Structure 1
C-alpha cells in the first residue's frame, strides 16, 4: 500500500519469517554458530529458548538453510500430538514410505534410515518447535528415540525450540532423565536500543529504502514500545509507515509513533526477572480454590459426639423399660393429647372416660353414629381410643320404687296377673292399692295418664 510512496520494492516489516530480511546481531550469530556445531558434530539433544517474538523461528530457518545438503532435517511445528501421530509425521517429513500402526512399524525402518544416513556421512536433525506444548509421555518417547545409536557415534540429533517456560518443564522430577541428556542450550534475549536501531535500518535497506525513513527519536519511541522484541518492532513500524503515508510525510517522527502506539490495542506486560541461568522465571501459577461454606461455630465434633451419646442412652432406656411403665406412659401421653388437642366437633372441657389399662385390650364399646339409625357397633377400644363413652344411666331400685307406691286394696286388685285393670278403675286415691305383682304395669299406666293430661 505504501511501497510506492517511500520508493520501496516490498514491505520491510512483514510478520512472516522471510529469510532475506534476517538480521544477525552478535547474539544471533553466536546462537547460530553454536547450534550449527551441535548438529554437525552429532551432540544429541539441543535446546533453544527465548520469549515470544525474539526471532527463534527465523533463526531455525537460517540454520536449516545453512546445513542443507549436509543433514536430513524434519521440523515438527506443533508437538501437541499423540504418540502414533508423532511417529507418522516424523516418517512423512523424513520421506520414509511406511504406514505406522504400531511402534515396531516405525522403529525398525527408522533405525535403518539412521544407519544409512551415517554411512552417507550425513547428520539427522529432528526439530521440535513450540516444545513447551510437549506432554510427558511424548517427551519420554522422544528420549527413547535417542537410544538408536552406535557405540562410536550418535545417529539422531533432537533440537527443542520453545519459550522460556520449557526450562521449568524440564526441571520437573519426571523429566530429569531428558534434561540430563541435553548437551547444548542457548537462550535468545531481546534487542537493546542500539540493536533495535540497526534492525530497523537493515530491514529498510533490504526493502530498497534510499534514506532514513525513521528519525532517531522515532526509533527510540519504537524501542520504548517494543522493548527489543523483533515481532513488536515489526508491528509498530509497519503501522507508523502506513499512517505517515496517509498524511504525506516521508520521514516518521516520534509523534507519529506515539499516535500509532495509542491505536494498538495491547501493550507489553512487565517481564519476569532473569535468573542465574540466563532464563526467565515462569509466571506465578494460580490454583483454583473452591468456595468454602462458612461453618457455624457452635457445631463441633465434640458436641456432635455428645448429642449422639445422649440419643443412644435415651434409646437404650426406652428399649429396656418394663411393659407396665410403657403402658402407663402411653396412657399419660394419650390423655395429654386428648386434653390439648380435642376431637373436632366436641367440647374440650368434657372429660374423657377413664378406661382400665388391664382390660382395655379386650374391652368393647358401643358407638352411636349421628344422623343414622340407632345401632350398636362393637369396636375394640384399642382401635378408636379417642371415642368418648356414654354416661352410665342411674341405678333403678325396684324395691324402693314399690315402697313409694300407694297401697291398694286386695279387693280392687285384678284377679289375674296378666289382666289389665280398666282405666276407669285406676285412680290416685290412697284407698286403691295395686297388687305388688302388678306394680310395674300400674306405674306405667299411671305415667301415661299423667302425660296424656
Structure 2
C-alpha cells in the first residue's frame, strides 16, 4: 500500500522469513559460520538457538541456498508435538521416501537403504529440524539413532537442530547425554544491538530500492531498537506499521514521536509491547484459585466486588475493541478517498471525460458533498 508513496519496489518489512533479506549481524555471521563448519565436517549435530523472531529460520534458509546439491541432499522439517515414530515418518517424507504401511523396524531399514543409495552416488543427507524445542526426549533420541547410519567412517545423515532457548534445557537432561556427545558446535543467537538495528532497517530498505525516502531520524531508529529490543521480527512488525502511518499522514520524515505513537497502538492492539507477548487480563482474587472460584472459606458476599471488577474489566475491553474498530473504519475510509483521488488524477492525465460537479448524482462521501460530515482523524 505504501510502496508507491515512498517509491519502493516492494515491502521492506514483511514478516515471512525471506533469505533475500538476510542481514549478517555479528551474531548471525557467527551462527552461519558454525553451520558452514558443520556442513564441512559432514557429521554430528549443530545446535542453533534463539528467541522467537531472532532470525533463525531466515538464517537456515540462507544456508540451504548455499548447499551444493550435487553432494548434499538437504531436507527441512518443522517439528510439532509428535511422537518418536511420527518424527521418523516426517523425516522420511522430507526426503521423499515412501514408508506408507511400514512398522518402525521396516521404516528404519527403508531410511537406511535410501541414505546408503545416496552415498553410492556421492551424496549425503542433511536434515534441518526447526522448532526443535517441541521434540520429546524420545524423538530427540530417534534423531541420534539416525546418526548411527554410517558407511565405513562416514556418516550418512547429519542434523542441524534449530530451536528456542528452552531446547538447551532439554539437552541438559541426563537422558540426552549420548546426543550431547555428538554435538560438534552450538550457538545462541541473541538480539541486535542499537547500531545493528539501524543497519538492519537500512539494509531491508535498500533491498527494495530505498533512496532516503522515508527518512528515519537517528532518534527514531534508537527508539525502534528500544521498543523492539533488537529482535528482528519485532523490528519488522513495528517498522511496517510506522511506514503505513507515515503514508496515511502523507509524511516522508520518521521521527521518534511517530515511533512512540505506533508502538502505543501496537501495544493496545496486542495487549503488550510491540510484537511481544500478549498480556492476559485476570479477574482479581486469591492467587492460586481458579477463575470463577469464590473461595471455600470466604463468605458468598465477598465475591461480589471481584465479580463487579471483572465485569468492569470486560466492559473496558469491549469499549477498547469498539474504539479500534471505529479507528480502523476511519483509516479505511481515508485510504479509499486517497485511492479515488489518484484514480481521478490518472483519468485526467489520460484525457478521459470526467463529469462536471453538477452532472449525475454525487456519491455520498466524495469531496464537496455538503451532506457528508467530515471524517475525524483517529490516531
Does TM, normalized by the shorter one, top 0.5?
yes
How do 1:386-401 residues align onto structure 2 when only pairs under 5 Å count? none
Contact 1:84 1:101 in 2 (8 A): no
| Correspondences of 1:346-361 after superposition (within 5 Å) | none
Verify the 8 A CA contact 2:228 2:275 in the aligned structure 1. no
CA-based RMSD of the aligned residues comes to: 2.5
Q: Compared with structure 1, are the counterparts of its residues 268 and 250 closer, same or farther at alpha carbon in structure 2 (3 Å cutoff)?
A: closer
Contact 2:237 2:275 in 1 (8 A): no
Aligned to 2:237: 235
Partner Cα separation in structure 1 for residue 142 and residue 18 of structure 2: 33
Q: What is the 5 A alignment of 1:360-375?
A: none
Q: How many correspondences in the alignment?
A: 279
Aligned-partner Cα distance in 1 for 2:251–2:153: 64
Report the counterpart of residue 254 of structure 1 in structure 2. 256
3-state SS, counterpart of residue 251 of structure 2:
coil
Report how far residue 84 of structure 1 moved. Answer: 3.0
SS across alignment from 1:264: helix
Q: Matches of residues 411-426 of structure 1 in structure 2 within 5 Å?
A: none
Deviation of 1:293 (Å): 9.1
Give the match for residue 154 of structure 1.
Answer: 155
Q: Deviations over 1:78-104 (max 9, x none)?
A: 242123322222222112233243112
Q: 1:270 to 1:200 in 2, by over 3 A?
A: closer
Residue 251 of structure 1 and its aligned partner are, at CA, apart by 1.4
Structure 2: how far apart are the matches of 1:128 and 1:149? 20
Give the deviation of 1:77 after TM superposition: 0.9
Asked if residue 11 in structure 1 is aligned to residue 11 in structure 2, the reply is: yes
Which structure 2 residue ranges, 5 or more long, are not aligned?
A: 278-287, 298-379
Contact 2:76 2:129 in 1 (8 A): yes
Q: Counterpart in 1 of 2:211?
A: 210
Greater share of residues in helix: 2
Q: Which residue of 2 aligns with 1:380?
A: none
Work out whether 1:267 is the aligned partner of 2:273.
yes
Contact 1:99 1:105 in 2 (8 A): no
User: Which structure 1 residue ranges, 5 or more long, are not aligned?
Assistant: 272-287, 295-453
Identify the residue that residue 103 of structure 1 maps to in structure 2. Answer: 104
Decide whether the 8 Å contact of 2:84 with 2:136 is kept in 1.
Answer: no
State the SS of the aligned residue for 2:88: helix
Name the CA distance, whole Å, in 2 between partners of 1:193 and 1:200: 11
- 1:49 and 2:49 aligned: yes
CA separation in 1, counterparts of 2:29 and 2:155?
Answer: 26
The one of 222, 225, 245 aligned to 1:223? 225
2:312 corresponding residue in structure 1: none
Paired with 1:161 and 1:21, the residues of 2 have a C-alpha distance of 20
**Residue 9 of structure 1 contacts residue 208 of structure 1 at CA under 8 Å; is this kept in 2?**
yes
Residue aligning to 1:76:
77
Which TM-score applies when normalising by structure 2?
Answer: 0.69
Whether the 8 Å contact between 1:13 and 1:237 is mirrored in structure 2 is yes
Alpha carbons 1:192, 1:228 under 8 Å: kept: yes
Are residues 1:59 and 2:45 paired? no
How far 1:269 sits from its partner (Å)? 11
Taking the aligned partners of 1:82 and 1:154, their CA distance within structure 2 comes to 25
Higher relative contact order at CA 8 Å, sep ≥6: structure 1 or structure 2? 2
In 1, distance between residues paired with 2:42 and 2:199? 34
SS in 2 for 1:221: helix
In structure 1, the residue matched to 2:246 is 244
TM-superposed CA distance for 1:64, in Å, is: 0.8
Q: Does 1:174 align with 2:175?
A: yes
Whichever of the two has the greater Rg, that structure is: 1
CA contact (8 A) 2:238 2:275 kept: no
Q: Which residue of 2 aligns with 1:2?
A: 2
How far apart, CA to CA, are the structure 2 residues paired with 1:240 and 1:68? 40
Question: In the TM superposition, what is the alpha-carbon distance from 1:289 to its structure 2 partner?
Answer: 10
Supply the distance in 2 between the matched residues of 1:35 and 1:253 (Cα, whole angstroms): 38
TM-score (norm 1): 0.58
